[in-house]
Amino acid sequence: MADDVVRKVVGYLRQIEKLAEKGDLDGVLLEARLALRLCNAPSSSDTTADAGA
C-alpha cells in the first residue's frame, strides 16, 4: 500500500517538474494538490480557509 502511494507521489512530482519547465503554473498547482490529497495532507489553501472559519 505505501509503495503504491510513493509511486503515485513520485509520478505527480515528475509531472510537476515537466509543467514547471513549461511555465504551466496552474498545472503545477493542480498536480501538487493531488499529491497532497493522496498523502492526506491539506494544501495551503485548505488550511487558510479553515483559519478564516
For 20-51, give one letter per residue: b (16+ CB within 10 A) or e. eeeeeeeebeebbbbbbeeeeeeeeeeeeeee
Q: What is the mean pLDDT of residues 29-40?
A: 90
Share of the chain above pLDDT 90, in %: 51
C-alpha to C-alpha distance for 5 and 21, rounded to whole angstroms: 24
Reported confidence tier of residue 53, pLDDT bands at 50, 70, 90: very low
Which residues, including other chains, have CB under 8 Å from residue 8's CB and lie 6 or more apart? 35, 38
pTM: 0.71
Q: What is the pLDDT of residues 3-22, one digit of tens each?
A: 888 899 999 999 999 999 99
